[in-house]
Amino acid sequence: MAEPLVVIDRVVKRYGAETVLDRVSLEVRTGQVMVVIGPSGSGKSTLLRCLARLEPIQKGRILIDGVLSAKGTEDEGPAPDKTGGHDIGMVFQSFNLFPHLTVMENITLAPRRVRGMAAAEAETQAIELLRRVGLEDKRDVHPARLSGGQQQRAAIARALAMRPRIMLFDEVTSALDPELVGEVLKTMRGLAEQGMTMLVVTHEMGFARDVADDVVFMDRGAIVERAPPDRIFSQPAEARTRAFLERLLEREGGTRRER
Amino acid sequence: MGSFRFDMVVGYWPDIVDGALLTLKMSAVSIGLGLVLGLMLALMRYSRVPWLDWPAYAYIEFFRTTPPLVQIVWLYYGLPMFFGRDLNEFWSAAVALGLNIAAFFAEIFRAGIAGIDRTQWQASRVLGLSLTDTLRFVILPQAWRNVLPPTGTTVIYLVKGTALATAIGVPELLRVGQLISLETFRPVESLTIVAIAYFVLTYPIALAFQAIERRLAASRV
Ligand SMILES: Nc1ncnc2c1ncn2[C@@H]1O[C@H](COP(=O)(O)OP(=O)(O)O)[C@@H](O)[C@H]1O
Ligand SMILES: [Mg+2]
């Protein structure tokens, strides 16, 4: 088997005295879709943020395609390679588009400034991406004019424009009106089908069941269980996983359509 | 005395124009210096890195809490005492006022930058944008909207504040007014014509800022 694309190796992350990630280890292979579930405050967002290098880690290491991407500040050893940087794309719950720029400008800014892409090339690429997320007619519109679902799809296009090898999604449908969730999930399914490596924090169990290769259950800063969706949903190995899934089903039961 | 004799001072208009030009030049230098230094100080404060934040904090509070007139005098008489070199009257006043106004700009900019959601920084960071690109293309263009009105007020305040340079003999507008007053024994008329000149200088600035604000508001979707 090939080297995993992402190696998270005994990562410890603390905020002050609080340990938010407690020796978390996880490997993701190229093309895999990993869905991360777990109660609020269990460290899911923090894990993604550490992967995206938005937060330093105190111990452990993160390797992307065999290259050291992050290393514990309390550990000895060589510093991580910061040159290879833009291999990770991230999409946030609150979209975080640049409100003063048009959709097109949102998508072309980083390729032009970071990758040094010519304006024409960046625009051609953006048009192709907008087609992929179904927003080809919104290129010159500012984000405030878009629905939440459209904003989130534009945010996905913006992240893809940097041609990342891994995409991180942090509860990207949680802030959306229920009727807009489907269009964003559809875009994500499309990405998965095209072979994108994805780490997805979500409460959308339908998406997890259909798309995920593996589901990871996190609780209190640790990975409790990792298994393919059919197994983790039908016969979770850990009591904590079962309890969480039961609570989730109770809460969602009947109120939301299966997606 | 008695009646208002504007005719006695009107003839001095070429001196007024000279003074006004010098006031304008001094304002431009001070504002330029103040904007650049103010932005740097704001970023130092915003960085939350102690060895950047703390000196910036000390600078801002020092210049905000001591009189600008004293700062001008310090620079003009103090510089040669400590460094054996001096600046002429114009540059002493212009630089001192620039250093002073930087503290006010810094606070305006800091508030403007702090008003931009942290998630905008994160989104930029994940996209790989450098710090300067993030500021240039993401943060500052948004901060402008909040920063513009108080910046306009501060600029106008500074233009009038250059009158303090009179204290070290810079022949700017107020100084010219004083000289006319000494020659004509008409202080009220002399200062009135000076006031009109200040109005002519500052009102277009106020209008310009209002126009930019209106355009920004209109472009907001
Ligand atoms: N910037 C921060 N400063 C301090 N504590 C934080 C910060 N971000 C998250 N935490 C804490 O870390 C824990 C995990 O948070 P998070 O990763 O957001 O959980 P999840 O995404 O699973 O809900 C929580 O207890 C939260 O309070
Ligand atoms: Mg979260």
Q: What is the ipTM of this complex?
A: 0.91
Burial A204-216 (b: 16+ CB within 10 A, else e): bbebbbebbebbb
* Domain-embedded: residue B197: yes
Site residues for ligand 1, CB cut-off 6 Å: A 15, 20, 38, 40-46
State which residues form the domain around B137.
6-220
Residues of B in contact with A142 (CB under 8 A): 221
Note whether residue B136 is domain-resident. Answer: yes
Q: Report if residue B181 sits inside a domain.
A: yes
pLDDT in tens, chain B (221 residues): 568 888 888 888 899 999 999 999 999 999 999 999 999 999 999 888 899 999 999 999 999 999 999 999 999 998 888 877 778 999 999 999 999 999 999 999 999 999 999 999 999 999 999 989 999 999 999 998 889 999 999 999 999 999 999 999 999 999 999 999 999 999 999 999 999 999 999 999 999 999 998 887 776 54
**Ligand 2 centroid – CA A50 distance (Å):** 13
Q: The domain spanning residue B193 has which CATH number?
A: 1.10.3720.10
B37 located within any domain: yes
Mean of pLDDT values over A124-148: 96
Residue type, B54: W
Q: Is the minimum CB–CB distance between B127 and chain A shorter than 8 Å?
A: yes
Residue nearest to atom 6 of ligand 1 (CA): A15
Return the residue in A48, A90, A100, A140 with the most chain B beta carbons within 10 A, the one to mutate for interface testing.
Answer: A100
Distance CA B86, CA B117 (A): 45
* Encoded tokens for A147: 């629905």
pLDDT at B146 (0 to 100): 86
C-beta atoms surrounding A116 within 10 Å = 8
Would you say the pTM of this structure is higher than 0.80? yes
Nearest to B124 by CA among A86, A74, A79: A86
Interface test with B, best of A94, A113, A165 (most B CBs within 10 A): A113
Residues 6+ apart with CB under 8 A from A189: A207, A210, A211
Residue B105 domain-assigned?
Answer: yes
- Judge whether B176 lies within some domain: yes
What value does the mean pLDDT take over residues A144-158?
97
Q: Measured between CB atoms, does B88 come within 8 Å of chain A?
A: no
Q: Strand pairing of A18-28 and A214-219?
A: unpaired
Residues 6+ apart with CB under 8 A from B106: B37, B38, B39, B41, B42, B45, B56, B59, B60
- Count of domains observed in chain B: 1
Mean pLDDT of chain B: 92
- Distance, CA B189 to ligand 1 centroid (Å)? 68
Residue B1 located in a structural domain: no
Q: Secondary structure of chain A in the HEC alphabet?
A: CCCCCEEEEEEEEEECCEEEEEEEEEEECCCCEEEEECCCCCCHHHHHHHHCCCCCCCEEEEEECCEEEEECCCCCCCCCCCCCCCCEEEECCCCCCCCCCCHHHHHHHHHHHCCCCCHHHHHHHHHHHHHHCCCHHHCCCCHHHCCHHHHHHHHHHHHHCCCCCEEEEECCCCCCCHHHHHHHHHHHHHHHHCCCEEEEECCCHHHHHHHCCEEEEEECCEEEEEECHHHHHHCCCCHHHHHHHHHHHHHHCCCCCCC
Report the share of chain B in percent with pLDDT over 90: 78
Non-local (6+) Cβ contacts of B190 within 8 A are: B9, B177, B178, B180, B181, B184
Residues in chain A within 8 Å Cβ distance of B128? 85-86, 110, 114, 162
Residue B216 is predicted with a pLDDT of 79
- Per the prediction, chain A carries an average pLDDT of 93
For chain B, give the number of residues: 221
Atom of ligand 1 nearest to the CA of A40: 23
Could you tell me the two tokens for B215? 């355009």
In the chain, the amino acid numbered B66 is T
Distance from C-alpha of A165 to C-alpha of A91, rounded to nearest angstrom: 14
